[in-house]
Amino acid sequence: MDTAAGVSAEPPAPAPSHSLSGVGVRVLQNTAALLGGRGVSLVLSAATSILLARFLGPEQMGQYGAIYAYLSLYSWLSTAALDQILAREVSVRRAQAAHIFFHGTLIGLFFAVLGSALACGLGPLFGYHGVMRWLIAVAALDLMILSPLKQPGIIFQVDMRQWIPVGISLARQVLWLAALCLLALRSAAFYQVIVTRTLCGVLEAAAVIYFVRRCGVLNFLQKLHWNEIQQLLRFALPMALSAVAGSLFLRIDQVMLHKMSGDRMLGPYVVAVQLTEQFGALPVALISSLFPVLAQAAGQEPLFRHYLGVSYRFLMATVFFACAVVTPITAPLVSLLYGKQFLSSASLINILVWSEAPLFLGVALTNALVAKNLQRYLPYSTAVGAVLNIGLNLVFIPRWGALGASWATLISYCVAAVLFYLVFGPARGVTLQGLRIAGPPLALSLAIAAALRYMPLHFLLKFFIGALLYLAGAWMTGTIRRSELERLRELFRGALLMFRPEPP
């Protein structure tokens, strides 16, 4: 099959075998753990976002978002963009996992310290002065320094035991929400919010290290091999270049709003971003579970396209469901949850929620390219996205403020996350496969959102009508397929059997 060109129809699913069924069950178990955990995480994150916004108010919420958005510009340095490379290398060289993680962690720590120093030193150039500059240093411990120490937790992805990091992540969220409740009751100072979040990060890192050590893949008494470091850096270079542009691509809008319009305007935008980005971990949840399988199937094109097609359909069905049901009800939803002081976030959400669609598609697409060792194309796409996003924000923000930043995000995501890959021959086939699958649910969700938005109905009734219409349309257009639902049911049964205790 020619991967440089699109195909008119998706390759048929390979005939299931005993070995593939076992892989499918493991993938299902991990995906169920990740998506189940993500469901709980969505509730916890929403509760945290609502409490944080009501406690801090628009201006301090803007300051909070500005600190973490600014640090995100340097976050790629915290792991040297090695996560996917380490997952691939450990999947192939499982017996050398301790050796690989040792060198990956050393590389990550070096760049994390460098990135933290740069973030603190360059802060005043971006409008971070006085106390804000010191708070960046505190938050950098969480976002930067601790990240490489948690990197060996990738072993749970490779071994398909994702419920362990899911449990740790949920425990941190519960702890952070409980701590935030106490801070709100005490009317704590703003700096205490940043310090408390960092302390939660320290406890999370300690838990990851504890469980990784029990796996026997964390050993810092390894002998240093420069050739291993050079090889990892060589593999990660395209990913790092992509991550550098990607950090600008994803977070520069908040930093520019902070600098150009002030934190009071940034506050509602931060709320809109937090609410829409809750969905962003769903594609990561699926692909992180499926990535080892994609990497191993990269040389078997029909099998690879089958797994990738299932991923595309699941992700597109999910993200366009969110677009269809959220767009008509944003104003009453924001007013109910965040209060009238954040009502301006509703119009921003109506734009930003659609930007999640190219992001979902792009996550599956980039992981497919990495699995095929085609990561050399990633820096070009993210560089174009970063330049386009910065340019559009420079034009849009002075004219339309946060609304302009939202449109800049949507346009740049569509171009950089998906459309730009059509330029490259080896990436064109998997890109067209994703676009072809995305077409029907996109048209369906646009029609539902347009039909329901101005109907004089209660927003809960709109939600349920939109959900029913979308599910019916997705079934009729083939976005949801009977054969795959039956396959999932079989795999689910197998997953349950694997959890049954052995008979005595």
Domain-located, residue 282: yes
Over residues 447-456, the pLDDT tens digits come to 999 999 888 8
Among the ranges 4-8, 145-149, 180-184, 252-256, which has the highest mean pLDDT value?
180-184
Angle made by CA atoms 487, 489, 494, in degrees to the nearest 5: 95
Rounded alpha-carbon distances, angstroms, from residue 380 to 244, 362, 451: 11, 14, 38
Q: Is residue 193 included in any domain, yes or no?
A: yes
For residue 5, being part of any structural domain is answered with no
Does a structural domain hold residue 1? no
List helix spans (H) across 123-162: 131-140, 147-150, 154-158
pLDDT of residue 487: 61
More confident residue, 502 or 247: 247
Q: Does 22 map to a domain?
A: no
Residue 388 in domain: yes
- In a domain, residue 2? The reply is no
Backbone angles phi, psi at 216, to 5 degrees: 75, 20
Residue 406 contacts residue 270 (beta carbons within 8 Å): no
User: Hey, CA dihedral for 42, 48, 54, 60, is it positive or negative?
Assistant: negative
- Cβ within 8 Å of residue 334, ≥6 positions away: 271, 342, 343, 345, 346, 349
Contact (Cβ atoms closer than 8 angstroms) between residue 50 and residue 338: yes
Looking at the structure of the chain, the number of domains it has is 1
Predicted local confidence at residue 284, as pLDDT: 67
Q: What is the rounded radius of gyration, in angstroms, for the C-alpha atoms of the chain?
A: 22
Confidence band, pLDDT 50/70/90 cuts, at residue 257: confident
pLDDT at 82 over 90: no
Highest-scoring range by mean pLDDT, 158-172, 191-205, 222-236, 245-259? 191-205
Whether 309 shows a pLDDT value over 80: the answer reads: yes
User: For 323-342, how does the pLDDT look when each residue is reduced to its tens digit (9 = 90+)?
Assistant: 999 999 999 989 988 888 89
> What is the C-alpha separation between 433 and 365, in angstroms, rounded?
10
Reported as half-sphere exposure (CB side, CA atoms, 13 A), residue 488 has a value of 13
| 11 domain-assigned | no
What is the mean pLDDT of the segment spanning 383-392? 88
pLDDT in tens, 2-20: 333 333 344 444 444 434 4
Q: For residues 201 and 172, is the Cβ–Cβ distance under 8 A?
A: yes
Distances (CA, A) of 252 to 115, 258, 333, 392, 393: 16, 10, 27, 11, 9
Residue 54's domain comprises 29-497
